[in-house]
């Protein structure tokens, strides 16, 4: 598994009055929060009651996410409970999912700041991992009855990994995985390519397809993937580019939905994400954006018909309406900023999708039953 291009921001950034550890500026650097209207979404749901498993390089107890960090497992050395990270990749992904910050504007903020994080150390730092180690991590997550598994890695498969993914889907867990990064990956990597897994591609600051993100018929949805700021090791912060980051953001979105609609099945959570996505590129599903870019507010509030003949137990949310009382047009805002371009899959191993540089079930039917030229599974907005 390759790591997304992430730079750890140094401690002691100077301010007008004094030095600090970067907590005062990091929120402003998290452009994806504004782009996705995360603050508005968090007035509806913050992920309470949902646990997200993070099989990765471990998760360090950063001050901005420590309150949400559960004891997990280390499947490499067996030495501890997974709450350490020699790489920073896992800690960065965890922060994007459920960092709680340190006050109104201090520290990093995750998409679902009241969700719990289950750290699973199954990928070595700065190197290629073993598909069976990832499989053991996913098996453990299934046993812990998590609601979401966020897999920011990809590459080769194995019979055990395939079985672990199948078990997670059968256990009604939302499984989210990174599509892969150019130039290392030429096609959608495993397990994102597995039916039943939500395959996540990336967009840049302008909301356009990120050059780093691979394309393919398995892509389901897209999220910000360029210059994504999050937590890092040693209490620092990181900036990453790649589908790793986009995947963690979508996993946070799934946690928001599972908290808001606790009786929805995993397939209905996935359907709600795709049905409310902002269509990009050619009309309908396409190989760059899937069904579109996630829209957190619409996913939490729109009146989305159940997928197929499914019987969602939760009552539908109130439809989005405009001030005049009619359907509102909601779209992800286009924040200013530049563009950018996570990594890798070969048949020989798994790679966390990006490079870290220290400087201080039913859902399967949704994908497989539609063609690229079919109309998108969108609500009327």
Q: Distance (Å, rounded) from C-alpha 378 to C-alpha 197?
A: 19
The residue whose two tokens read 């990956």 is 185
Residue among 210, 8, 17, 225 at smallest CA distance from 108:
8
Residue among 231, 243, 305, 320 at smallest CA distance from 268:
305
Ramachandran assignment for 163, one of left (phi > 0), alpha (psi -120 to 50 degrees), beta (any other)? alpha
**DSSP string covering 5-62, please?**
EEEEEPS-EE-SS-EE-SHHHHHHH-HHHHHTTHHHHHTT---TT-EEEEEEB-----
- DSSP letter for 234, please: G
- pLDDT tens string, the chain, 381 residues long: the values are 444 444 444 332 222 222 356 899 999 999 999 999 999 999 999 999 999 999 999 999 999 999 999 999 999 988 789 999 999 999 999 999 999 999 888 999 999 999 999 999 999 888 778 999 999 999 999 999 999 999 999 988 999 999 999 999 999 999 999 999 987 878 899 999 999 999 999 999 999 999 999 999 999 999 999 999 999 999 999 999 999 999 999 999 999 999 999 999 999 999 999 999 999 999 999 999 999 999 999 999 999 988 763 333 333 333 332 222 332 333 333 332 332 333 333 222 445 554 333 323 333 333 332 334 444 444 433
- Catalytic status, residue 244: yes
**352 three-class SS:** strand
Q: Distance (Å, rounded) from C-alpha 239 to C-alpha 31?
A: 11
The residue whose two tokens read 């409970």 is 81
How many CA atoms does the CB half-sphere of 82 hold within 13 Å?
Answer: 27
pTM summary value: 0.82
- Catalytic status, residue 213: no
The tokens describing 104, both together, are 């109104």
Q: Distance (Å, rounded) from C-alpha 325 to C-alpha 309?
A: 30
The number of beta carbons lying within 10 Å of the beta carbon of residue 273 is 30
Q: Distance (Å, rounded) from C-alpha 223 to C-alpha 52?
A: 18
- Catalytic status, residue 157: no
The tokens describing 88, both together, are 């920073």
Axis crossing angle, helix 266-275 with helix 243-260, rounded to the nearest 10? 110
The number of beta carbons lying within 10 Å of the beta carbon of residue 199 is 30
Q: Which candidate in 244, 245, 259, 265 is catalytic? A: 244
Q: Does an H or E element contain 237, and which?
A: strand 237-241
> What are the percentages of helix, strand and coil residues in the chain, rounded to 5?
25, 20, 55
Cβ contact 256:300 at 8 Å = yes
pLDDT tens per residue across span 26-45: 999 999 999 999 999 999 99
274: which strand partners? none
Q: Which candidate in 62, 84, 89, 271 is catalytic? A: 89
Q: Which candidate in 32, 45, 56, 123 is catalytic? A: 56
Q: Distance (Å, rounded) from C-alpha 167 to C-alpha 150?
A: 15
Q: CA quadruple 45, 151, 35, 99: dihedral positive or negative?
A: positive
């Amino acid at each position: 598994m390759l790591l997304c291009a992430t730079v750890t921001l140094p401690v002691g950034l100077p301010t007008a009055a004094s030095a600090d550890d970067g907590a005062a500026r990091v929120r402003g650097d998290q452009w994806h929060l504004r782009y996705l209207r995360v603050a508005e979404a968090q007035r509806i749901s913050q992920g309470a009651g949902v646990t997200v498993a993070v099989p990765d390089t471990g998760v360090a107890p950063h001050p901005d996410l420590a309150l949400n960090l559960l004891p997990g497992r280390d499947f490499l050395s067996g030495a501890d409970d997974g709450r350490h990270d020699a790489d920073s990749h896992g800690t960065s992904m965890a922060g994007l999912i459920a960092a709680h910050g340190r006050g109104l504007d201090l520290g990093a903020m995750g998409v679902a700041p009241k969700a719990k994080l289950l750290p699973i150390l199954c990928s070595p730092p700065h190197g290629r991992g073993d598909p069976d180690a990832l499989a053991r991590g996913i098996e453990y997550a299934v046993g812990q009855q998590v609601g979401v598994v966020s897999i920011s890695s990809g590459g080769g498969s194995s019979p055990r990994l395939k079985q672990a993914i199948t078990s997670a889907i059968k256990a009604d867990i939302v499984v989210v995985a990174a599509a892969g990064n150019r130039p290392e990956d030429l096609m959608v990597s495993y397990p994102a390519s597995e039916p039943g897994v939500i395959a996540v591609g990336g967009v840049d600051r302008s909301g356009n397809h990120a050059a780093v993100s691979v394309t393919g018929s398995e892509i389901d949805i897209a999220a910000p993937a360029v210059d994504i700021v999050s937590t890092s090791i040693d209490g620092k912060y990181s900036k990453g580019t790649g589908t790793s980051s986009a995947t963690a953001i979508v996993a946070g979105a799934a946690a928001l939905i599972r908290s808001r609609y606790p009786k929805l099945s995993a397939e209905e959570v996935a359907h709600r994400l795709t049905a409310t996505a902002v269509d990009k590129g050619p009309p309908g599903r396409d190989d760059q954006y899937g069904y579109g870019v996630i829209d957190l507010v619409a996913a939490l509030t729109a009146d989305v018909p159940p997928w197929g003949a499914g019987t969602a137990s939760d009552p539908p949310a109130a439809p989005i309406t405009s001030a005049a009382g009619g359907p509102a047009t909601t779209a992800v805002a286009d924040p200013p900023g530049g563009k950018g371009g996570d990594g890798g899959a070969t048949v020989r191993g798994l790679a966390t999708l990006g490079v870290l540089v220290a400087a201080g079930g039913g859902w399967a039917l949704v994908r497989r039953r539609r063609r690229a030229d079919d109309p998108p599974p969108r609500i009327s907005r």
